[in-house]
Amino acid sequence: MSAVLKLQTIKGRPVLRGYEHIWSVILDLTRDGAAFTRHDVDQRSCDPGDTTVTDYLRRLLRAGILEEVGFEPAIGRRRGRRIYRLVQRHQEAPRLRRDGSPAPAMINQLLWNTMRHLLRDGFTARDLAAFASTDETTVPQVTAVSYVKRLADAGYLHCLEPGRGRHLGKWRLKPSMNTGPRPPKILRAHTVYDPNTNAFHGQPVAEEVAP
């Protein structure tokens, strides 16, 4: 039998991991034109040595956003460290494929952008999927339904018309929950984390996976 765990978080304390966090650390470290090492980034993350840091630095190098400018030699048991310099500053974390080429926008980003532009008239999940789709990315209606449900449960959306049978419900993003450009993330704990305010919304409950 699996155990149900309630997660407690402190409002305003950020989740110190992921590409967005790594990028914010790089911007901070290089604010005055200084160089940095992966170790510098590791020390400001939740999981020092996380392979996500190495992977993202490699993508930034291949994209020409970073360049390697030196090498700190090993000292005692400490391994040598590559030194990087930021070549291109971007406000938002670059989304890159492994080869350094630009990656298409994430579906949640497309859905969130569309919700923020439909504040007056509202939307159904079908509308949302259609308006959020681009030439590069088709947003499935089932994905829009799931994202709408998660945000509604977390208190982001106001119901304009409840759904009945095959008739889809109509929703509108609450103005007070239009928190910023980055989309709220649906975590594995089935709660919503908003990176714009560093806050969790909804009841954070996680189910432990049975071995």
Please say if the pLDDT value at position 149 is more than 90. yes
> The domain that contains 78 carries what CATH number?
1.10.10
One domain for residues 111 and 99? no
Please say if the pLDDT value at position 126 is more than 90. yes
Please say if the pLDDT value at position 208 is more than 90. no
For the whole model, what pTM was predicted?
Answer: 0.66
Q: How far apart are CA 209 and CA 163, in angstroms?
A: 33
Please say if the pLDDT value at position 85 is more than 90. yes
One domain for residues 114 and 171? yes
Please say if the pLDDT value at position 205 is more than 70. no
One domain for residues 2 and 72? yes
Give the DSSP letter string of 11-32: TT-----HHHHHHHHHHHHTTT
The number of distinct structural domains making up the chain is 2
pLDDT tens per residue across span 47-83: 655 688 999 999 999 999 999 999 999 888 888 899 9
**Which residues are CB-contacts of 5 (< 8 A; sequence separation ≥ 6)?**
205, 206, 207, 208
> Which of 54, 79, 103 represents a domain boundary (last residue)?
103
Q: For 126, which DSSP code?
A: H
Mean pLDDT of the chain: 85
One domain for residues 55 and 137? no
User: Once rounded to an integer, what is the mean pLDDT over residues 101-127?
Assistant: 93
> Which of 103, 125, 143 represents a domain boundary (last residue)?
103
**Which residues are CB-contacts of 183 (< 8 A; sequence separation ≥ 6)?**
106, 108, 109, 111, 112, 113
Q: For 37, which DSSP code?
A: E
Which ranges in the chain belong to alpha helices (H)? 18-29, 38-42, 51-62, 107-117, 125-132, 141-153
pLDDT at position 52: 87
Please say if the pLDDT value at position 120 is more than 60. yes
CA distances from 111 to 22, 82, 89, 144, 185 (A): 24, 38, 26, 7, 12
> Which of 68, 103, 138 represents a domain boundary (last residue)?
103
Q: How confident is the model at residue 145 (pLDDT cuts 50, 70, 90)?
A: very high
Q: How many CB atoms sit inside 10 A of residue 110's CB?
A: 23
Q: How far apart are CA 103 and CA 181, in angstroms?
A: 18
One domain for residues 17 and 71? yes
Structural domain range at position 58 = 1-103
pLDDT tens per residue across span 157-201: 999 999 888 889 999 999 999 999 889 987 765 577 788 887 777
pLDDT at position 47: 63
HSE value, Cβ hemisphere, 13 Å, CA-based, for 99 = 1
